[in-house]
Structures are given as structure tokens and as C-alpha cells.
Amino acid sequence: RFSKLQPVRASGPFALDATFRADPDSKKVNLLIGAYRDGEGNPWQLTSVANAKKTLKIETCNHEYLPLVGSIELLEAARELVFGDELLQQANNSIASIQTISGTGANSVIAQFAQTHLHPANIWLPDPTWENHYSIWDQNAPNVTQRRYPYYNDCDRSFDFQGMMRVLQEDAQENDAILLHACAHNPTGLDPTREQWQEIAILCNEKKLFVIFDSAYQGFASGDLDRDAWAMRHFFRYPNIEFAVCQSFSKNLGLYGERVGALHVATSRTCSPPAGQCVQGHLIDIQRSMCSMAPLFGARVATAVLLQPDLREMWKTDLEVMSGRIKAMRKALYDELVILRTRGTWEHIVEQTGMFSYTGLREHQVAELQDVYHVYLLPSGRISLCGLTAANVKYVARAIHSVVAA
């Protein structure tokens, strides 16, 4: 029965992370997975999260099922974070929301929902994008053709806005789905400007595309939750653009392993009666067969941080701490490369935003960094800046300098 099964060739950040863990070299540096590390390179529990757990008195909590939709309190708070209080007042039951198994769960449910109920011919993914987007659409919506729109200009390491608009203008069909990263694009760290977002919204509206925002880094691009929600809120101002938001709390609350997230679908506000409730029923239905409902513990913690004013204030400081340290590491790496007069230009490291830098290092250079210097990054040249510390940044810069000079 199983003898004909081909083994899976493990790839991606988690497979490389296993190789990293097995590497006995004491100089090794992990720049792989997008998970925050403190100044000493250790996982960090947010101060707001630690305090939330105290207020929950977790030893007294029961372990009942959540309702299929998830935690109602979390969903209300999560929706407010995406759409903002003011705009939400116009929503009038037009938004469907369910709690999901973080961003991956939200992306999976919306892919299935799109294939079953919206029937887009194509899903347009940015080139490049988070590698899991390809698998998620393969597994959950095999009848929807995957297309890629240009996102990155390799020559000058910029966001390829012209290329994106041209291809979508020419090739996207009415009712196609399109995936957009709400902020801090993974892996490039390049986001559209507000003016560019406005043009993207006009195009999506004119072409009647079903937009899916992947929002995994709210608070990480600018350090400010509202500023990072700008693009999603701008789309919401169009009463007829219908779009989904896959919201992850893994990064901004540091709740990686707890799998806390939500999926929101903003349906047309001119539809009567509003379609929110009906869409929500279908999302619940899809998720029921995958995992019944999302888990409870992380939802309790996230809800406490989002809803208790003192914890929410602490959270804002936590976000500033994390995004501030990442920015400082961008600058430190850039400065070292400049001091070393490393071949090429490196301004892009400080200009990109979020957890990652798309360094422009080639696959053979990445392989050499790993084999010779035990510095681990993705073959695409993406580094997670979280893995840099004051203690290793000089070493990493010297290693990059050597492989670039070779």
C-alpha cells in the first residue's frame, strides 16, 4: 500500500530550522523563521502577554469547546483591529468573522470558500510570496488556477508596481481572486505607498476582483497598529469591494505556537439583506470539517490583551520594542557592510520593512553562508532580522562580505 509513496522532499524555513538545530557549530546563526528573538537571541514572551496570563489565573480555567465560530470577544476585538472603530459603525452585519488556526487556517478556509462558492478562474499571488501560499491554494482550491503577478524588481530591488498593474490590467479576469499582503510583505519587506494602494484598489474595484489580504504583521511595519491597517481600511471605504482578511496574531502577540487568528470577509454594504451572517455560516461549515473550531487558550490570552486597557497599552510598548530592535538590527547590518566596503549596495536592508530583508544574495552564496559560516537563511536570500543580535551581527556581515567577494 505505501511502497509506491514518494517521500516528501522537506524544504522551507521549518526544514532548514531542523538542519540548523542539528548543526553543532558554536558560531551558527539562525536567520530563517520569522519569529521574534530578543537581544540575546532568545524567544521573547511579550510583557502584555505575561500579564494577561496572570489576570486569567490559568490554573482555574476550564477547557470547554469554543463555539464553532470561535471566541466572540476575540472576534469583536480582532475586527476592530482590522477595520477600526469608526469604519466598523458602517458595517451593519456585512462582515463575516470566524476564529481560525492562525493565518494558515484563515488562508486555507478562504481558499476552500472561494473555490466552492465564488468560482474564480484564477488566484493571483505576488511573485514572490510566502511559500506556503502556493501549497495552501494547491491543497484547498485545486480547481482555481494559480497565477503570479510581478511584485519584485530584481535589478534595483524595488517593488515592481508598474509590472503588477500592467499584468493585472491585461490578464486578470472579472471575479478572479487576488492575494495582497496588508503590510510588511513577506519575503521582500517592500510595501506599496498609499498612492499605489489607492490605484490598486481602483483596479480591484473596476475588475471586480475578490481581494484576500494576508495580515500577519500588523504592528510590525511601522510599530503602529492603525498605520499598518491603512490599506485594508482604504479598501473598506469602497462599499462594493468585497474582500477577506486573514489575520494572524502569531507575530504581533508572539503567540506563535498557540495558533491564534481570524478570518473576516467584508461583503458589499449595498447588499440587502446584508450577506455577513450567511457567509459566516459557510466559513464555519468549511472549518468544521477541517478542525471543528480554533483553540481556546491563545484566544483567552489575546482577548485579554486586546480588551483590557492597561494590557493594550503594554502591548503597544511591546510592539515598539520588537519593531525598534528589528530596525536597529537592519541599521547595524547595513553599517557593518558599509564599513567592510562589501561589494554592491545595501541601502535596501534599511529601506525594507517588517521582519525580513530580501538581501539579494544568490542561492550559491546562501549555500556558502550555511556550509562555511553556519549562517542560515532561505535560498531566496530572505533573512529574518530577528536572528541578528549585537553579538553576531559583525560575524554575519563578515560572512556576507566573504561570499559576495568570492
Q: How far is the CB of 104 from ligand LMR (least distance, A)?
A: 7
The residue whose Cβ lies closest to ligand LMR is 34
Report whether 368 contacts 346 (CB < 8 A).
no
Q: Is 130 a catalytic residue?
A: yes
Among 83, 113, 130, 249, contact with ligand LMR (rule: CB under 6 A): 130
Nearer Cβ to ligand LMR, position 109 or 304? Answer: 109
| Grid cell of 173 as nine digits | 479576469
Give the residues across from 37 on adjacent strands.
43
Report whether 317 contacts 47 (CB < 8 A).
yes
Task: Count CB atoms within 10 A of the CB of residue 254.
Answer: 19
Q: Dihedrals φ, ψ of 247, to 5°? A: -110, 125
Nearer Cβ to ligand LMR, position 160 or 214? Answer: 214
Per the residue annotation, which of 160, 191, 214, 228 is the catalytic one?
214
The answer to whether residue 186 forms part of the interface with ligand LMR (CB under 6 A) is: yes
Separation of alpha carbons 95 and 76, rounded Å: 11
Separation of alpha carbons 71 and 295, rounded Å: 9
Report whether 192 contacts 159 (CB < 8 A).
yes
What is the residue whose three cell numbers read 494590557?
A: 311
Nearer Cβ to ligand LMR, position 14 or 292? Answer: 14
- Give the chain's radius of gyration (CA, Å): 21
Q: Is 207 a catalytic residue?
A: no
Per the residue annotation, which of 191, 251, 315, 346 is the catalytic one?
251
* Angle in degrees, CA 325, 154, 375, rounded to 5: 45
- Contact positions with ligand LMR (CB under 6 A) in 198-237: none
Q: Is 251 a catalytic residue?
A: yes
Among 132, 175, 196, 402, contact with ligand LMR (rule: CB under 6 A): 132
Could you list the beta-strand ranges (E) of 243-391. 243-248, 260-266, 356-358, 375-376, 382-384
Nearer Cβ to ligand LMR, position 252 or 267? Answer: 252
Nearer Cβ to ligand LMR, position 377 or 403? Answer: 377
- Contact positions with ligand LMR (CB under 6 A) in 19-48: 33-34
Among 13, 295, 354, 387, contact with ligand LMR (rule: CB under 6 A): 13
Give the interface with ligand LMR as residue ranges (CB under 6 A). Answer: 13, 33-34, 130, 132, 186
Annotated active-site positions, please? 130, 214, 251
